[in-house]
């Protein structure tokens, strides 16, 4: 797995999201935010996440979609249950994944972070394939961004977000990176 100078991972399937923009001038990347997502909720393998991140979600396909159809969100990466890696935004750009957020006194985490969505929810474990890909991706990103710290969405938006949730195995991730 490699990361090119334009911010694309060679082993990731590219699906371009319009929900991104330039980072503020002089703003480095030092945070990697882990999220979870499934669309429809608790259903896996469908096109919902890609449709959401590309502004193509059809509100008639599921009742929940009608509630979120106007959202303009994205993440840099998405890891499906089977370990497929999808990239929506190059690391050189700011993806819109964190929302209102704060990390160690710094507001607006999108400015200085990368975001990865794991296909899943707060109510069940993630797959071995997801951890394998997440560990490889994190290693790659830490090579490019040596100061990169890891955190969950719940840590940068407490009270507002709960992901990646109680079933995310932080110890497994950290042991895999050791």
- 159: Cβ–Cβ under 8 A, 6 or more apart, which residues? none
Task: Tell me the two tokens of residue 26.
Answer: 């002089």
CATH of the domain at 31: 3.40.80.10
The domain of 99 spans 13-177
Note down pLDDT in tens along the chain; length 178 residues: 999 999 999 999 999 999 999 999 999 999 999 999 999 999 999 999 999 999 999 999 999 999 999 999 999 999 999 999 999 999 999 999 999 999 999 999 999 999 999 999 999 999 999 999 999 999 999 999 999 999 999 999 999 999 999 999 999 999 999 9
- Contact yes or no for 71/52 (Cβ under 8 A): yes
59 within domain boundaries: yes
5 within domain boundaries: no
Catalytic residues: 117
80 within domain boundaries: yes
60 within domain boundaries: yes
Pair type for strands 13-14 and 85-87: parallel
Q: What is the three-class DSSP state of 4?
A: coil
4 within domain boundaries: no
CB-hemisphere CA count at 13 Å for 81? 14
Please give the tally of structural domains in the chain: 1
């Amino acid at each position: 797995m490699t990361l090119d100078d334009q911010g694309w991972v060679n082993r990731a399937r590219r699906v371009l999201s319009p929900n991104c923009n330039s980072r503020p001038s002089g703003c480095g990347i030092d945070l990697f935010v882990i999220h979870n997502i499934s669309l429809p909720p608790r259903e896996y393998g469908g096109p919902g996440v890609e449709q959401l991140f590309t502004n193509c979600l059809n509100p008639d396909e599921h009742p929940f979609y009608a509630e979120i159809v106007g959202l303009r969100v994205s993440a840099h990466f998405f890891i499906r249950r089977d370990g497929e890696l999808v990239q929506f935004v190059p690391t050189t750009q700011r993806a819109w994944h964190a929302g209102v957020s704060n990390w160690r006194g710094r507001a607006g985490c999108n400015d200085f972070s990368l975001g990865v969505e794991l296909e899943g929810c707060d109510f069940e474990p993630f797959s071995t394939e997801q951890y394998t890909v997440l560990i490889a991706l994190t290693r790659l990103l830490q090579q490019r961004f040596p100061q990169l710290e890891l955190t969950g969405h719940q840590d940068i938006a407490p009270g507002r977000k709960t992901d990646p949730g109680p079933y995310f195995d932080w110890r497994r991730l950290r042991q895999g990176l050791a």
